[in-house]
């Protein structure tokens, strides 16, 4: 790397990034990588140690000579609060600065009860989970919600979908209790970020498709989440299928894949065919029992999801498509239909190395994705430099 000029001197925030990523683990490394003088490295490292963001470790002495002091990112130097809200299941947790869960709790709440019920419950639970820990330790909040989110403002957008949440600005409500940066994204983006970082950190292009009560996707493109202009990227649930039979979708259009192939649609179709099914578990039982009509309905749903995914694969050319959500997890026949259609209908180049894999982290990806989202933001070089300049902890 060329030595930097005064105009591009590495800041303390940049030094923290190098230590956090493991690119530099000693002061000598930092000098070499950044081109900073020894006193300049010393100054920045001292600042980061004082803030509790970096700690020094001395390895056991090797044969002869003084061992170099290693610099480590101090994951115990603070916490982030995270919540992964699902349509029916929600997990709330406190994580350290490496994104490891320190304490967490699951709830079966219906998010349709609205923000007035759900947000106070989240805030009280975080307070509970924090216990005696000083509130200054809280560095940020990351949330995934089952709605389209205007990301920059943390504003839920979905009209007629999670109606009681429409237009809610979540960050100011959370900041009344925890005055720190609050990031809100849709639940499937959080799953995509979690699965990418946790399972496929070396792949730059990944699509996570959640098939559950609803259908949605989160797209990692070029190593980062693809949000689009306002945050609506990846909403594949409302792409129409051919020959859907004219089903009116809750978004107002007809034959959206969500309205003909989601868990909700499966239950509706099977009930119309006279099956006694109340939950996805009832459908699973019929599939296990080899009920031909149920199998056919599940396969047809898979074909319809595959049709929409084939188009998405042609546009995005991901290395891996991860299928998650309780419906995808429960039904082998659904997943095989999706694979079959995607491989048949996408272009040869887009599918040459394409893998279609089940989610490895399951619902846990939601919590880790929310943690990664907020940590990447509050520990970014810019955010760290700003907080150092302001003198805030």
Q: How far is the CB of 233 from Zn ion (least distance, A)?
A: 16
Shorter beta-carbon distance to Zn ion: residue 129 or 251: 251
The length of the chain in residues reads: 393
For residues 371 and 103, is the Cβ–Cβ distance under 8 A?
no
Q: How far is the CB of 234 from Zn ion (least distance, A)?
A: 14
Q: Which of 27, 210, 227, 238 binds Zn ion (CB under 5 A)?
A: 238
The span of 11-19, 118-126, 224-232, 244-252 binding Zn ion (CB under 5 A) equals: 244-252
Shorter beta-carbon distance to Zn ion: residue 244 or 302: 244
Angle at 321 between CA 316 and CA 322, to 5 degrees: 140
The span of 3-11, 19-27, 234-242, 280-288 binding Zn ion (CB under 5 A) equals: 234-242
Shorter beta-carbon distance to Zn ion: residue 253 or 380: 253
215 binds Zn ion (CB under 5 A): no
The span of 9-17, 49-57, 224-232, 246-254 binding Zn ion (CB under 5 A) equals: 246-254
Q: How far is the CB of 162 from Zn ion (least distance, A)?
A: 14
Shorter beta-carbon distance to Zn ion: residue 20 or 238: 238
Q: How far is the CB of 240 from Zn ion (least distance, A)?
A: 8
Total residues in contact with Zn ion, by rule CB under 5 A = 5
Q: How far is the CB of 255 from Zn ion (least distance, A)?
A: 8
Q: Which of 145, 192, 241, 249 binds Zn ion (CB under 5 A)?
A: 249
Shorter beta-carbon distance to Zn ion: residue 244 or 325: 244
Q: How far is the CB of 256 from Zn ion (least distance, A)?
A: 3
Site for Zn ion, residues 112 to 171, rule: CB under 5 A? none
Q: Which of 256, 338, 363, 374 binds Zn ion (CB under 5 A)?
A: 256
Three-state SS string over the chain comes to: CCCCCHHHCCCHHHHHHHHHHCCCCCHHHHHHHHCCCHHHHHHHHHHHHHCCCEEEEECCCCCCCCCCEEEEECCCCCEEEEEEECCCCEEEEEEECCCCEEEEEEECCCHHHCHHHHHHHHHHHHHHHHCCCCHHHEEEEEEEECCCEECCCCEECCCCCCHHHCCCEHHHHHHHHCCCCEEEEEHHHHHHHHHHHHHCCCCCCEEEEEECCCEEEEEEECCEECCCCCCCCCCHHHCECCCCCCCECCCCCECEHHHHHCHHHHHHHHHHCCCCCCCHHHHHHHHHCCCHHHHHHHHHHHHHHHHHHHHHHHHHCCCEEEEECHHHHHCHHHHHHHHHHHHHHCCHHHHCCCEEEECCCCCHHHHHHHHHHHHHHHCCHHHHHHHHHHCCC
Shorter beta-carbon distance to Zn ion: residue 30 or 217: 217
Q: Which of 251, 254, 295, 383 binds Zn ion (CB under 5 A)?
A: 251
Shorter beta-carbon distance to Zn ion: residue 161 or 378: 161
Q: How far is the CB of 231 from Zn ion (least distance, A)?
A: 17
Q: How far is the CB of 217 from Zn ion (least distance, A)?
A: 14
Which parts of this chain interact with Zn ion (CB under 5 A)?
Answer: 238, 249, 251, 253, 256
């Amino acid at each position: 790397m060329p030595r930097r000029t005064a105009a591009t001197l590495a800041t303390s925030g940049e030094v923290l990034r190098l230590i956090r990523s493991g690119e530099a683990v000693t002061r000598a490394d930092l000098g070499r990588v950044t081109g900073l003088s020894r006193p300049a490295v010393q100054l920045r490292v001292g600042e980061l140690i004082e803030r509790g963001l970096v700690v020094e470790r001395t390895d056991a002495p090797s044969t002869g000579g003084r061992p170099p002091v290693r610099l480590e990112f101090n994951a115990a130097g603070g916490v982030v609060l995270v919540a992964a809200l699902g349509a029916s299941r929600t997990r709330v947790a406190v994580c350290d600065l490496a994104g490891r869960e320190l304490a967490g709790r699951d709830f079966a709440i219906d998010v349709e009860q609205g923000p007035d019920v759900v947000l106070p419950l989240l805030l009280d639970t975080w307070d509970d989970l924090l216990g005696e820990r000083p509130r200054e330790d809280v560095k940020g909040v990351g949330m995934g919600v089952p709605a389209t989110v205007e990301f920059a403002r943390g504003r839920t957008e979905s009209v007629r979908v999670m109606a009681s949440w429409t237009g809610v600005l979540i960050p100011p409500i959370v900041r009344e209790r925890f005055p720190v940066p609050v990031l809100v994204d849709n639940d499937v983006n959080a799953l995509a970020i979690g699965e990418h970082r946790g399972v496929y950190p070396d792949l730059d292009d990944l699509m996570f498709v959640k098939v559950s009560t609803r259908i949605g996707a989160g797209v990692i493109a070029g190593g980062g989440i693809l949000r689009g202009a306002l945050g609506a990227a990846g909403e594949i649930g409302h792409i129409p299928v051919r020959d859907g039979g004219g089903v009116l979708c809750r978004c107002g259009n007809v034959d959206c894949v969500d309205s003909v192939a989601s868990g909700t649609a499966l239950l509706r179709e099977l009930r119309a065919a006279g099956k006694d099914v109340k939950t996805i578990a009832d459908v699973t039982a019929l599939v296990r029992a080899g009920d031909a009509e149920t199998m056919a309905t599940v396969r047809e749903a898979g074909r319809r999801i595959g049709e929409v995914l084939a188009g998405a694969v042609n546009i995005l050319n991901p290395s891996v498509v991860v299928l998650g959500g309780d419906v995808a997890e429960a039904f082998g026949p659904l997943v095989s239909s999706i694979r079959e259609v995607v491989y048949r209908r996408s272009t040869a180049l887009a599918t040459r190395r394409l893998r279609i894999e089940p989610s490895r982290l399951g619902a846990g990806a939601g919590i880790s994705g929310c943690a990664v989202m907020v940590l990447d933001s509050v520990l970014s070089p810019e955010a760290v430099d700003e907080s150092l300049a302001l003198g805030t902890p």
